[in-house]
């Protein structure tokens, strides 16, 4: 699949797995657009040919290199002149070239519509540090269907969530990626996902996905405070003290000056357990508030005591869900 739009258009949002072979650079595309408005289509086409001509060989060879089966699906924004021109070029070097009808715009329309559907989610929840993400990935490893929103968002969802993660993609690309992960799921089986707020870092969840998560059965991991603190220290103490301090400052208004000051002291002194315990006060209160807005009849508390191994917890969750027939109303 070849996306022939500019690098900036591609970066803003693209079909996952597509390759960007731009007909024009960002500046060239801008100049062609200005020429079209000021001098008409004919002059714009001439300018486009002037830009594209010297690059034709390189673009054709690049397409051939990514398509060992000699088949390419080409698209631009609306499936117009850019994609038609590039499809012609690719055919001249022996590639079977099809143009995506309606272009990227039609893909976006389909993806956003799809994300408004109901999905058979069962949500893994629990207080900060209870191991939700580890359990979700253990379920995926065991062969379960999983939608890992934090992985797609490159963020763990809290003020500390960006530590160790790549730069977040655009919201548009996140929606595309969520669609791509869900388009082939079996709706007769559970899709496991993690309890999330409406935003994950700078990313906002699609409204339909968020509402589906909020209304789905929630398995709340009941883990001891000591286990939670140990997991947080294990996951975050490895980051620079400066970065940890910046994260604390982000939630200082909610922590209050006194608790924030003590948390900062813990970081400076390397007493990460103390900092974790102080910060959990805020996160626990926030999570409990969100929990209070859910249907209590769809919240299931599962105590784990001192069990912290994600694989063991995942096994117990699967048994619990089956035994209590939690999925009867969603499958």
> Is 76 part of the annotated catalytic residue set?
yes
Detail the DSSP E strand segments found in 4-95: 19-20, 71-75
For the chain, report the end-to-end CA distance as a whole number of angstroms: 34
- By DSSP bridging, strand 121-126 and strand 218-223 are parallel
Q: Give the CA-trace dihedral at 22, 24, 27, 33, to 10 degrees.
A: -120
Compute the distance between CA of residue 228 and CA of residue 230 in angstroms, rounded to an integer.
Answer: 5
Residue 254 three-state SS: helix
Tell me if 52 sits within 8 A of 76, measured CB to CB. Answer: no
Active-site residue identified among 52, 76, 163, 213:
76
Cβ proximity of 244 and 267 under 8 Å: yes
**How many helices (H) and strands (E) would you count in the chain?**
16, 11
DSSP class of residue 67? -
Residue numbers annotated as active site: 76
């Amino acid at each position: 699949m070849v996306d022939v739009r500019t690098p900036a258009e591609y970066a803003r949002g693209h079909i996952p797995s597509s390759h960007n072979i731009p007909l024009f650079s960002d500046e060239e595309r801008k100049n062609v657009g200005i020429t079209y408005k000021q001098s008409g289509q004919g002059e714009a086409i001439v300018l486009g040919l002037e830009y594209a001509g010297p690059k034709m060989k390189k673009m054709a060879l690049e397409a051939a290199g990514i398509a060992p089966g000699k088949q390419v699906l080409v698209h631009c924004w609306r499936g117009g002149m850019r994609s038609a021109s590039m499809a012609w070029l690719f055919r001249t070097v022996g590639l079977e070239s099809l143009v995506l009808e309606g272009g990227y715009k039609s893909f976006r329309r389909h993806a956003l519509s799809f994300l408004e559907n109901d999905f058979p989610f069962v949500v893994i929840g629990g207080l900060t540090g209870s191991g939700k993400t580890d359990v979700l990935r253990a379920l995926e490893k065991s062969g379960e269907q999983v939608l890992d929103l934090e992985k797609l968002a490159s963020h763990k969802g809290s003020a500390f969530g960006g530590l160790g993660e790549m730069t977040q993609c655009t919201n548009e690309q996140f929606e595309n990626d969520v669609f791509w992960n869900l388009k082939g799921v079996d709706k007769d089986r559970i899709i496991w996902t993690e309890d999330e707020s409406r935003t994950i870092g700078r990313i906002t969840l699609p409204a339909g996905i968020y509402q589906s998560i909020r209304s789905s059965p929630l398995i709340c991991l009941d883990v001891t405070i000591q286990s939670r603190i140990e997991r947080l220290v294990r996951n975050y103490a490895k980051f620079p003290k400066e970065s940890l301090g910046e994260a604390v400052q982000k939630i200082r208004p909610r922590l209050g000056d006194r608790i924030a000051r003590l948390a900062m002291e813990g970081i400076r002194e390397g007493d990460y357990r103390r900092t974790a315990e102080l910060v959990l006060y805020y996160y626990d209160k926030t999570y409990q508030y969100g929990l209070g807005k859910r249907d209590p009849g769809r919240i299931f508390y599962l105590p784990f005591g001192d069990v912290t191994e994600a694989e063991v917890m995942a096994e117990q969750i699967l048994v619990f869900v089956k035994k209590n027939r939690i999925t009867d109303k969603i499958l």
